[in-house]
Amino acid sequence: MNRKTQTLTENNENTLLELNRNLTNLNNNLSEDYTNLTVQFDNLTRANAVLESKVTNLTAEKMNLTMQNQKLEMEKRNLTNQIKDMEAKGNELNISRAQWIIDAYCPKKDGGRQCKFCQPGWNLIQSSCLLVLDYQTSTNRKTWEEARENCTIRSSDLVVVDNAEEKKYVSGKSWGNSGNEGYWIGLKADGGKWKWVGGSDLADSSWTENPTDGHCAISVKNEGWKSVNCYDRNRLICEQKSLSV
């Protein structure tokens, strides 16, 4: 082989070696890029799975909220209808009560109406009407709670003695009784205090019987008030406001 040919061959070998190195480097770079892309793809796949799970959860939550909203709307409609019914019934009750008051306090007589401050059988004391229920037999007499219920059906409550005049009247009407028999008044021992049915404390310092829970007060003629067991059976006195004109 001549010198020229030998030189050309060497140059070709060097060129091929250089190309091989370049291709090797390129292949290594591509392999590294592929690995990076694979990692990125896996990360994106996991991120997509997380997003899909969130979308699924949000969709389910949206459906639940929609159902709850529909339920609330239905409840709102029902409550609105109930309020309308109650208002209508309230108006009817007001009309009925107004008519009852007219009939009770202003009964028809000789083609007209004559109004009085109290219903028949009730006695006017200042601005109140009092009804004495003088049950003669022990079977008809009431416990204190039963006495309140008895007054309630008459649109009243057990009497609250606010002043000396009312106290004198109540005492005077508590006839024919003695000892632990008398007339229930609206006074009950509660939490170590004597309280009236309206919730106010007893302010009359002249009555000194200590309050015992489970005891209520009766009025006994000529003996004043007495503390007895609320389950005893007694007569009663009811009170309601007189008619204002």
Q: Dump pLDDT digits (tens) for 141-176.
A: 999 999 999 999 998 999 999 888 888 888 877 665
Report the C-alpha gap between 51 and 70 in whole angstroms: 28
Average pLDDT rounded to a whole number, residues 183-191: 93
Residue 116: per-residue pLDDT? 77
Percent of the chain with pLDDT over 90: 22
Q: Are 213 and 192 in contact (CB under 8 A)?
A: yes
Nearest alpha carbon to residue 188 among 201, 177, 169, 179: 201
For position 120, what pLDDT does the model report?
Answer: 84
Backbone angles phi, psi at 216, to 5 degrees: -130, 170
Owner of token pair 């990692």: 39
Rounded Cα distance, 153 and 240, in Å: 12
Confidence (pLDDT) at 162: 83
Q: Bigger pLDDT: 56 or 93?
A: 56
Residue whose C-alpha is closest to residue 172's, from 119, 130, 126: 130
pLDDT value at residue 222: 75
**Per-residue model confidence as pLDDT tens digits over 199-237:** 899 987 667 688 899 999 999 877 888 999 999 999 999
pLDDT score of 19 more than 90:
no
Task: Check residue 99 and give its pLDDT.
Answer: 58
Whether 110 shows a pLDDT value over 80: the answer reads no
Share of the chain above pLDDT 70, in %: 81
- Residue 228, SS3 per DSSP: strand
Residue 120 token pair: 């028949």
pLDDT of residue 2: 67
Q: Which residue has the higher pLDDT, 63 or 110?
A: 63
- pLDDT-derived band of residue 11, with 50, 70 and 90 as boundaries? confident
Higher pLDDT, 11 or 143: 143
Residue type at 109 in one-letter notation: K
Residues 72-80, mean pLDDT to the nearest whole number? 86
Banded model confidence at residue 135, pLDDT cuts 50, 70, 90: confident
| Mean pLDDT value across the chain | 82
CB of 104 closer than 8 Å to CB of 198: no
